[in-house]
Structure 1
Amino acid sequence: MALLSESEQQQVRDAITRIERDTDAELVTVLAPQADDYTYIPLLWAGILALLIPGAINYFPQWLGAAELLIVQWACFAVLAVVFRLPAVTTRLIPRRVRFWRAANLARRQFLEQNLHHTQDGTGMLIFVSEAERYVEILVDRGISSRLGDDTWQGIVSSFTEQVKRGQTLQGFLACIEACGEHLTRHVPATHERNELPNRLIVLE
């Protein structure tokens, strides 16, 4: 299921179209459910906890036999492995630095895959969101970075990140696009009509 409905994605598309009328910047928006599947993490945690089960059980007055302990251990491993596979749970088992590192890598891959580095005047801009990691990043090409410093986007990213945490991803995108548009209109104004890259919201599977 898409992270945003078709009508919500259309709102993002319309917002980009409005902004690009007044700037040479080429905005691309990407939304990912999560940056990585972290396959090994649930199994690692389930295995560690399952290994600790026999020792924990032995603190209770009634001891179990070896066969019963083994069954309990395997049952715990199976249940925890399934529970820890839930995205909302998995991301909480991973250090914040690791989650952000994976999300940042995906953002940079998307910058290249969406050809944002191949625009005519180097005016590509990526607005990237990974929901599970609650990660937002804005990446720009040389035509924009030469006129606007990275600190320009810090406040916008912080506000968008808070909205993602509250489950307001659509509102975050619309506010972010509008805020970016204000800077781009002043510092990267439109010099001619063009539309090199698609305005649609790209939702990763």
Structure 2
Amino acid sequence: MSQQYPQWVEPYLSKEESEKISEIVKDIELHTSGEVVPVIIKSSSTVGHVPLILLPFTLLVGFFILSEWHFNLESEWLMLINISTSIILTKILSPLSFIERLLTPKGDQQHQVELRAEKEFYDSQLSATQGQTGILIFISLMERQVVVLGDQAISQKLPSETWQSVVDIIVTGIKKKNLFLGLEGGLQACGKILREHFPIQDNDTNELQNHLVIKEK
């Protein structure tokens, strides 16, 4: 984790909480042969379309409001007021997560989250561990979606449905605006599964850094 804690993530997870998460990861790896990397990203989806949808919508709403109220102004002034207000509202509303989520089709969100999770899996070197026991816990906040990916040794032994409880716990935490509680519970559930199926080995070595990865893009 970089020395300077990202400001954008603080409403979701404090620096102290992120350090506690890193300690949970260390504890999991002390008792299992798994290499766990939790990753939080602000958004996986492309959202350039959001202002393009929002601007004409606010213009249309503004037009109906001004027409209904019959302001005693020249039409040119009404048009200028409407355009200016719509541009300002679009700039304010477009970056809001719930607006991005509302205006991005759910199918697109899911597809882009899955693609980004796969990218992070390889970027984090989880496919390069000696025992092929790397596991990614990927959290995309805007979409409120979580993906768990295991390397070959894990996926051969455990079907993807195994991790649904981990996903559900973290997603519930996000929706309740308590990411720490969700991530803590999800990691503990993950650790329990790994202890049962992938206990620590005598020759086990720590191959990856045991910290929470946070990325804005």
Q: TM-score, normalised by structure 2?
A: 0.85
Partner of 2:118: 108
1:47 corresponds to which of 56, 64, 73: 56
Mapped to 2, the partners of 1:182 and 1:100 lie a distance apart of 27
Deviates most, 60-69 or 181-190: 60-69
Deviates most, 133-142 or 38-47: 38-47
Q: TM-score, normalised by structure 1?
A: 0.89
| Counterparts of residues 1-205 of structure 1 (less than 5 Å) | 1=7, 2-3=9-10, 4-36=13-45, 38-51=47-60, 53-54=62-63, 57-61=66-70, 65-88=74-97, 89-191=99-201, 192-205=203-216
Mapped to 1, the partners of 2:69 and 2:177 lie a distance apart of 43
SS of the aligned residue for 1:199 comes to coil
Mapped to 2, the partners of 1:187 and 1:18 lie a distance apart of 16
| 1:35–1:130 Cα contact (<8 Å) kept | yes
Question: Aligned residue pairs: how many?
Answer: 205
Structure 1 residue 70 displacement after superposition? 2.0
| 1:46–1:84 Cα contact (<8 Å) kept | no
RMSD, aligned CA: 2.0
| 1:116–1:125 Cα contact (<8 Å) kept | yes
Aligned residues with identical type, % of pairs: 26
| 1:57–1:63 Cα contact (<8 Å) kept | no
| 1:28–1:199 Cα contact (<8 Å) kept | yes
Q: Which amino acid aligns with 1:114?
A: S
Mapped to 2, the partners of 1:161 and 1:173 lie a distance apart of 9
